[in-house]
Amino acid sequence: RGVGGWVVDVMKDCFPGSSLDLSPPRSNTPGETGKKRKRNKPYVPQLNSAAYAIVITLYREMIRGTEVMKKQELIDAAEASGLSRKAIGPNNYKSKHGNSGSDFYTGWSCMKNLTEKDLVVKKSNPAKYYLTEKGKETARICLAKSGLDDPAGPFMATGH
């Protein structure tokens, strides 16, 4: 395993009396290369991640009657929900020692993945975001897994 055909041929020449089969295993089905199969499980954002907070926030706003949200509205609402461990909006800190990858990553960076997975759709200019049917189902799964079954969100005390 992990040895190419050339090395196997050289090893066979070095040990002519050996009866061991050193050739790589052959597949029974033609065309199968031994690659792993892709899972057909739907994408569900990780608990307390920025994607998790965004999906649930969009879902809650949809329940309240707001179908679409602008970027800044969505960032503010998702951060206010407290569902993400890290900040979702852009961080204003820039490294003095050069540019590192963490300087450019924000919680909002997950929006690319959410749109590629067809959970969120971006439309118009300025950009507005809304959940697809697949995104609504994912939000319901997230709410059920986290124990936040109330889609409207937790009771918020005002004035504090």
Alpha-carbon distance values, 126 to 4, 50, 123, 129 (Å):
54, 22, 8, 10
Q: Which residue has the higher pLDDT, 93 or 21?
A: 21
Q: What is the pLDDT of residues 119-141, one digit of tens each?
A: 999 998 888 999 999 999 999 99
Q: Is 159 left (phi over 0), alpha (psi -120 to 50) or beta?
A: left
Amino acid at 40: N
Q: Quick one: how far is CA 114 from the chain centroid?
A: 7
Helices (H), the chain: 5-14, 50-64, 71-81, 101-104, 111-116, 133-146
Q: What is the pLDDT of residues 70-79, one digit of tens each?
A: 999 999 999 9
50-146 — its CATH code?
1.10.10.10
